């Protein structure tokens, strides 16, 4: 896999990253990441999509300096990733974040802000603002051990924003949240995108990626299966047409005998067609059907994802 | 200066954690209770020996609880950060890994100073109540205890940076015992008889032992205090330099190991 774009505005570049772990008493080598390369440009919202165990978190941890790559290289803001100036421009939310539970949200955020060298008055102002923004303004004086999983996720988002970062790296930011919480965080990400922040986030939930991202990389078994702009990756050509209608039962037999499969959904009937629909529509109208909808279907991220995973499995079996 | 402010942030958080920990507060109460117990023991002492009992027992109690807290706190300090995954949000921040480790150590030292000062203050009350000798030599003795437990804390932190708490605890306690016995091996090496004279092939082993393990008996002046022998400031300063050299060495190894670690 080649680096997709290496212009100067790249804020995060991974080049042929590999990571091998030794597992068990026999120290068996397991390769969790097998040559991941990608480039995240300034202002992009980049989705890192893959099933559980695909190597997303390991890749992110390598980018964040928590794990050292076995092979390959990476750059943050055009330089080595361990420079403090580069780290000062990053906000990172780990998957299922954990915090010192004896602290209050104000105290934990103050601790993180001090690591960035933010002056006291500025710290106080930002902490107040952030706690309101993530919906924790009313529990400022409660210790974190009394927080629910969703509340801790919000603390995690607040600490990732404490330094007003240029690049946000979020590992499964929407996990552990209830539907309202998910919407609030999605709205926050949209707001951050509007503010010009670069966001790199992983998820195994396709709809989150589809809704928020400009670009996506699909990772499976430690390798990138597809990478590119969402519009380029998804096949924009119409793949099929879905017709929903009501009509006499005799129509079902008539269409079935012509080789058209009909799903009966109570009063409604549904047909999914690949290719031209003219003949079927004529038959339906002639048979007295009332047509409710004719919807063209295009490839979704889910289709692309499934296609990628199936292709990967096929090529693995072939080899 | 920025580096030190980051170290200070980690250190202050470390002592805040200990001071909010009920187990630590409980241990402090037991330690103070132990000192008051010496008053009861003094009642059972032979006439005229009560002052010796409170002096000896108090010194032993401060040293014992100091070592216990240094080992227990030291072995869980870094391990807990990794096990509870709190480190995941710290390492990606603009802080060097060695600054984090130094902050953890210094935070622990502050806790140990608080523990020793509280215990020593109670001990002073007990000594005063029993009209036992109480002066600058007592203070010097307490400083030496503190230096010893600072060395032990750095050993515990070293093991904690790559091993589990149970193993780290066993290793650290082992080094504490070997360190306390180091002077015996040193004496045997300079002796004109004994094991190293009878078996010269063992001499390199003895020399390595003395070179590697800190001689912790340097910090144990309980007999001097009992016998009223003065503890000069020069001796305490020299012991401080000796402790510092080992602390720097142990911390440097811990930092090297920590630098290479993956946080999975």
* DSSP assignments along B144-203, one per residue: HHHHHHHHHHHHHHHHHTTS-HHHHHHHHHHHHHHHHHHHHHHHHHH-SSSHHHH-GGGH
Q: What distance in Å separates the CA atoms of residue A251 and residue A248, rounded to the nearest whole number? A: 6
Nearest chain A Cα to B21, which residue? A102
For residue A150, the model assigns a pLDDT of 84
CA-to-CA dists, residue B73 to A230, B111, B152, angstroms: 51, 9, 11
Chain B residues whose C-beta sits inside 8 Å of any chain A C-beta: 2, 5-6, 8-9, 13, 16-17, 20-21, 84-96, 260, 262-264
Whether A66 and chain B come into contact, CB under 8 Å, resolves to yes
| Distance from C-alpha of A27 to C-alpha of A177, rounded to nearest angstrom | 37
Residue of B nearest to A165 (CA): B93
Confirm or reject contact between A87 and chain B (CB < 8 A). Answer: yes
Contacts of B45 (CB under 8 A, 6+ apart): B52, B53
Contact between B74 and B153 (Cβ < 8 Å): yes
Q: Give A162 to chain B, closest Cα distance, Å.
A: 11
Rounded to the nearest angstrom, the minimum Cα separation between B146 and chain A is 27
Chain B interface test: which of A105, A112, A115, A149 (most B C-beta within 10 Å): A115
CB-defined contacts A:B, below 8 A:
76
Choose among A187, A188, A189, A184: nearest CA to A201.
Answer: A189
- Are the Cβ atoms of A102 and B16 closer than 8 angstroms? yes
How close is the nearest chain A Cα to the Cα of B52, in Å?
42
**Minimum-distance CB partner of A98 among B5, B17, B84:** B84
Distance of CA A296 to the CA centre of its chain: 26
* Res A239: pLDDT: 72
Q: Which residue of A has its CA nearest to B94?
A: A84
Tokens of B138: 């007592």
pLDDT at B157: 93
Chain A stretch 182-241, residues whose beta carbon is closer than 8 A to a beta carbon of chain B = none
CB A160 within 8 A of CB A91: yes
Pairwise CB contact (< 8 Å): A97 & B88: yes
Mutate to test the interface with A, among B1, B92, B99, B263 (most CBs of A within 10 A): B92
How much is the mean pLDDT over chain A?
86
CA distance A180 to chain B (A): 25
Widest Cα–Cα separation across chain A: 78
Kindly report the nearest CA distance between residue A31 and chain B, in angstroms.
14
With beta carbons under 8 A apart, name residues in chain A contacting B11: none
Distance separating alpha carbons of residues B59 and A156, to the nearest angstrom: 46
Distance from CA of A12 to the nearest CA of B (A): 14
Give the H or E element holding residue A241: strand A238-246
B76 CB neighbour count, 10 Å cutoff: 17
- B95/A111 Cβ within 8 A: no
Residue numbers of chain B with a pLDDT score lower than 50: none
End-to-end CA distance of chain B: 31
* Tokens 């924009």 found at: A236
pLDDT tens for each residue of A242-283: 899 998 888 888 888 888 888 888 888 899 888 788 888 888
| CA dihedral sign of residues A132, B88, A214, A50 | negative
Residue B30: CB partners within 8 Å, gap ≥ 6? none
Counting beta carbons within 10 angstroms of the beta carbon of residue A91, is it exposed (0 to 12), middle (13 to 18) or buried (19 or more)? Answer: buried
Closest CA to B149 of B239, B35, B17: B239
User: First and final CA of chain A: distance in angstroms?
Assistant: 18
Which pTM value belongs to this model? 0.84
Q: Which two tokens stand for residue B217?
A: 């008996």
A contacts of B84 (beta carbons < 8 Å): 98
Counting as low any pLDDT under 70, the low residues of chain A are 1-8, 235-238, 316, 319
């Amino acid at each position: 896999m080649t680096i997709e774009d290496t212009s100067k505005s790249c804020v995060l570049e991974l080049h042929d990253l590999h990571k091998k772990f030794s597992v068990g008493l026999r120290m068996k080598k397991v390769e969790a990441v097998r040559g991941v390369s990608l480039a995240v440009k300034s202002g992009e919202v980049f989705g890192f999509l893959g099933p559980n165990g695909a190597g997303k978190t390991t890749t992110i941890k390598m980018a964040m300096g928590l794990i050292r790559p076995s092979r390959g290289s990476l750059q943050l803001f055009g330089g080595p990733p361990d420079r403090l100036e580069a780290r000062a421009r990053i906000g990172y939310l780990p998957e299922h974040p954990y915090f010192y539970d004896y602290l209050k949200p104000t105290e934990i955020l103050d601790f993180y802000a001090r690591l960035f060298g933010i002056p006291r008055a500025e710290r106080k102002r930002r902490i107040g603002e952030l706690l309101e923004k993530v919906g924790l303004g009313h529990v400022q004086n409660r210790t974190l051990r009394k927080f629910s999983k969703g509340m801790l996720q919000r603390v995690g988002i607040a600490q990732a924003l404490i330094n007003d970062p240029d690049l946000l790296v979020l590992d499964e930011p929407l996990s552990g949240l209830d539907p309202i919480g998910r919407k609030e965080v999605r709205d926050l990400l949209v707001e951050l995108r509007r503010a010009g922040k670069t966001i790199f986030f992983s998820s195994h939930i396709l709809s989150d990626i589809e809704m928020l991202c400009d670009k996506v990389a699909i990772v499976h078994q430690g390798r990138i299966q597809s990478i590119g702009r969402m519009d380029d990756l998804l096949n924009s050509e119409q793949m099929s047409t879905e017709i929903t209608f009501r009509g006499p039962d005799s129509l079902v037999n008539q269409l079935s005998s012509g080789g058209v499969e009909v799903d009966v959904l109570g009063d409604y009937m549904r047909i999914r067609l690949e290719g031209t629909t003219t003949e079927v529509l004529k038959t339906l109208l002639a048979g007295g059907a009332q047509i409710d909808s004719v919807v063209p279907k295009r490839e979704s991220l889910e289709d692309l994802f499934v296609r990628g995973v199936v292709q990967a499995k096929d090529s693995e079996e072939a080899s | 200066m920025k580096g030190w402010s980051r170290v200070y942030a980690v250190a202050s958080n470390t002592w805040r954690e200990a001071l909010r920990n009920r187990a630590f507060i409980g241990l402090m109460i037991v330690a103070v209770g132990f000192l008051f117990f010496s008053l009861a023991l003094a009642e059972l002492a032979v006439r005229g020996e009560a002052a010796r009992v409170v002096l000896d027992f108090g010194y032993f109690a401060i040293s014992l609880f100091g070592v216990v807290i240094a080992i227990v706190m030291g072995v869980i300090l870094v391990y807990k950060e990794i096990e509870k995954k709190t480190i995941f949000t710290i390492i990606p921040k603009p802080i060097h890994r060695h600054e984090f480790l130094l902050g953890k150590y210094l935070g622990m030292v502050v806790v140990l100073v608080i523990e020793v000062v509280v215990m020593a203050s109670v001990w002073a009350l007990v000594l005063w109540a029993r009209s036992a000798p109480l002066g600058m030599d007592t203070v010097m003795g307490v400083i030496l205890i503190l230096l010893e437990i600072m060395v032990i804390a750095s050993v515990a932190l070293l093991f904690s940076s790559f091993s589990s708490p149970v193993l780290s605890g066993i290793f650290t306690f082992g080094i504490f015992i070997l360190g306390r016995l180091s002077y015996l091996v040193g004496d045997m090496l300079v002796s004109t008889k004994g094991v190293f004279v009878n078996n010269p092939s063992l001499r390199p082993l003895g020399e390595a032992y003395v070179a590697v393990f800190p001689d912790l008996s340097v910090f144990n002046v309980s007999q001097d205090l009992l016998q009223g022998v003065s503890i000069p400031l020069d001796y305490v300063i020299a012991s401080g330099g000796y402790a510092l050299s080992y602390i720097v060495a142990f911390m440097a190894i811990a930092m090297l190991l920590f630098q290479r670690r993956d946080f999975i």
